[in-house]
Structure 1
Amino acid sequence: MTDVGFHAGELAVQRKAGTGQEAARLSPMLEPVQLSRGITGFLAERTFLVITGRDGDGRLWTSPVTGPAGFIEVRSATELAARASPPEGDPLHGIAAGQKVGMTAIEFAARRRVRLNGTLTAADDGALVVEIEQAFGNCPQYIQQRLLTPDTVRAGEADVRRDTTLAPEDVELIRHADTFFLGTINPERGADTSHRGGPPGFVRVDDGGLWWPDYQGNNLFNSFGNLEVNPEAALLFFDFPTGRTLHLSGTTRIEWGPKGRPGDDAQTGRIARFTPERLVAGRLLPAHEIAHVPYPRNPVLTPHTQRLR
């Protein structure tokens, strides 16, 4: 039987943020799932899925999984199959079954997304099968509208760089990004993949690590709740015009401080600071952007002249 309701980490962050009542009203979203007709229809048309899980060494990563419309199939009220898998060179290539995974299916052009969490019951080169335990939609906030077109050419294993520190080209990609995906995991409840968006430059890089201000969301704090009890985190960045990817694996801590301090763009008082431990850089997204419209209500970047504390 899957645990339901908020776990201790989510409740702790909700209390600190003062959003417990708002979150409680949304708690039915976390009850045992039955994949609805609406979610099933949405997934049937998607071409872009992001998954968080562990590699063969137990390290957490977040990776894209793409395919033509229809590659995501809902087989039953609780089972989903994606007829694709992370390609060679991706840190989750060959991901093993029997582990908890978190996924987000997203349609950038329509600014729609669904989060799906569960257990990976089967995995091979051609398909991933997941027994779904949570499935719920998220609001369209901070999703930049973009149209992607498939690419037939993709970098191979020889073109992928593995490292422990950010190179100048990695820093440039991060500082120009308006979107990334955040993977977290709770040892008892499982993994989660969330979308993060903002104006280019909302993710700052300093001292070999990076940080970003937390924006107002649905008040559930699924990601931050996981980080409250387990700092493991995986970040996935894209250069959408070229298909370049940057996978980061490390730890994240939440810093609480005065609302509106330098760099706290949305005035929530929350900053997430990530320390990378491993990275994989390459061109592992088999698509590129052909049109782009920024989210119209992105917070305005605020100046920051010193490291936040």
Structure 2
Amino acid sequence: MERSPWHAGEQRLQAHVGVAERMEAFGRKVIRSEMPDQHRQFYRQLPFMLLGAVDAEGNPWASILEGPPGFAHSPEPASLQLDSLPSADDPVQLQVGAAIGLLGIELHTRRRNRINGRTSEVGAHGLSVTVDQAFGNCPKYIQLRQFHSVPLADPSTRIAQRFNALDDAATAMIRSADTFFVASYVDVDNSRAVDISHRGGQAGFVRVEGNCLTIPDFAGNQHFNTLGNLLLNPRAGLLFIDFTTGDLLQLSGSTELLLDGPQVETFQGAERLWKLHVQQAVHRPAALALRWRQMS
């Protein structure tokens, strides 16, 4: 029998909400081992891509690569090339053969598509990714924003800070956010699969107490890519972007799922919750040339 497009964690959560049979049929239709031409053209018009990867200690991290439109391009349906690399202060540092998750998202149109795969080349100026899974996502919870670019600040003025506990500035950045990105992964059948997903809500939808973030999970596409990963491997990496300053806040830590219970009811519209216990954090001021303004 053909292998399911879903792993055991995703299947367990789909069964928990009563959609396992429907999602099995749906997944076989929409999750592909190659990018359709529409996705290949979409990636080419983007000025940035989100990525998820795992460091040598097994910590997942979420990050972002930017470049002029066309920096992401597909020479063939099963391959995506990115003419950009993580900077030296990024906790994401890639090696050939590493599992990677990619997300292309257009905030001003709410379009998004995803790739899970592995790096086939990592050179001085970019990387190539071989596709394992390619699929689209719905536009839910994406806040409309239009981008523009500014010159990057002098490197001496944007020194990365690493810490193990959230300070006041990091806490304030999280509490004001209406968007973040989450990287997670599983090791199944001696193969690693990394995913990166978008999360959005009203500003303040992520609650912070000390080093613990509590995050609502709203009604979605019922893929359960992220939560399915966390069910099997309770570790995640989060990326918060200050869309005005280009600052990045990257977090990595352990997670726990709350599928029901009274705490879920304290978040309006939440179907379940999950928590991140921050163990590592990196603040990279003015790391991006991109800036975004909110659209009405």
Q: What TM-score do you get using the length of structure 1 for normalisation?
A: 0.88
Matches within 5 A, 1:236-255: 236-255=239-258
What is the match of residue 89 of structure 2? 89
Residues 4 and 31, structure 1, Cα contact 8 Å, conserved in 2: no
Per-residue CA shift, 1:6-55, capped at 9, x if unaligned?
11111111122233244234212564422111111111111110111123
What is the match of residue 283 of structure 2? 281
Per-residue CA shift, 1:127-166, capped at 9, x if unaligned?
1110001111101100011112122214637611001010
What is the match of residue 36 of structure 1? 36
Residue 225 (structure 2) pairs with residue 226 (structure 1): no
What secondary structure, in the 3-state scheme, does the structure 2 residue paired with 1:223 have?
Answer: helix
Residue 137 (structure 2) pairs with residue 138 (structure 1): yes
Aligned partners of 2:12, 2:166: CA distance in 1, in Å? Answer: 32
* Change in 2 beyond 3 A, CA 1:25/1:74: same
Per-residue CA shift, 1:163-196, capped at 9, x if unaligned?
1010100000000000000100011250000000
* Change in 2 beyond 3 A, CA 1:266/1:233: same
Return the offset for 1:265.
2.0
Aligned partners of 1:139, 1:182: CA distance in 2, in Å? Answer: 16
Equivalent AA in structure 2 for residue 170 of structure 1:
A
Q: Percent identity?
A: 32
Return the offset for 1:4.
4.2
Matches within 5 A, 1:28-107: 28-29=28-29, 31-92=31-92, 94-107=93-106
Residues 213 and 263, structure 1, Cα contact 8 Å, conserved in 2: no
What is the match of residue 120 of structure 2? 121
* Change in 2 beyond 3 A, CA 1:22/1:213: farther
> RMSD in angstroms over aligned alpha carbons?
1.9
What is the match of residue 273 of structure 2? 271
Instruction: Show structure 2 runs of 5+ residues with no match.
Output: none
Aligned partners of 1:151, 1:43: CA distance in 2, in Å? Answer: 22
Aligned partners of 1:163, 1:256: CA distance in 2, in Å? Answer: 30
What secondary structure, in the 3-state scheme, does the structure 2 residue paired with 1:187 have?
Answer: strand
Equivalent AA in structure 2 for residue 60 of structure 1:
P
Q: What TM-score do you get using the length of structure 2 for normalisation?
A: 0.92
Aligned partners of 1:96, 1:132: CA distance in 2, in Å? Answer: 16
Aligned partners of 2:265, 2:102: CA distance in 1, in Å? Answer: 33
What secondary structure, in the 3-state scheme, does the structure 2 residue paired with 1:101 have?
Answer: strand
Return the offset for 1:261.
4.3
Deviates more, 1:117-126 or 1:129-138: 117-126
* Change in 2 beyond 3 A, CA 1:183/1:155: farther
Aligned partners of 1:19, 1:207: CA distance in 2, in Å? Answer: 36
Alignment length (residue pairs):
290
Per-residue CA shift, 1:208-264, capped at 9, x if unaligned?
210111011111101111111101210000110111110001111111224784433
Aligned partners of 2:83, 2:251: CA distance in 1, in Å? Answer: 25
Aligned partners of 1:192, 1:155: CA distance in 2, in Å? Answer: 33
Matches within 5 A, 1:155-234: 156=155, 159-188=159-188, 189-234=192-237
Aligned partners of 2:282, 2:159: CA distance in 1, in Å? Answer: 10
Deviates more, 1:75-84 or 1:23-32: 23-32
Aligned partners of 1:211, 1:186: CA distance in 2, in Å? Answer: 22
Residue 149 (structure 2) pairs with residue 147 (structure 1): no
Per-residue CA shift, 1:249-303, capped at 9, x if unaligned?
11111112247844332141x10100111111012222112x2136xxxxxxxxx
Residues 22 and 219, structure 1, Cα contact 8 Å, conserved in 2: no
What is the match of residue 13 of structure 1? 13
Residues 264 and 273, structure 2, Cα contact 8 Å, conserved in 1: no
* Change in 2 beyond 3 A, CA 1:187/1:237: same
Equivalent AA in structure 1 for residue 279 of structure 2:
E
Residues 260 and 266, structure 1, Cα contact 8 Å, conserved in 2: no
What secondary structure, in the 3-state scheme, does the structure 1 residue paired with 2:266 have?
Answer: coil
Residues 88 and 156, structure 1, Cα contact 8 Å, conserved in 2: no
* Change in 2 beyond 3 A, CA 1:155/1:273: farther
Instruction: Show structure 1 runs of 5+ residues with no match.
Output: 295-309
Equivalent AA in structure 2 for residue 105 of structure 1:
G
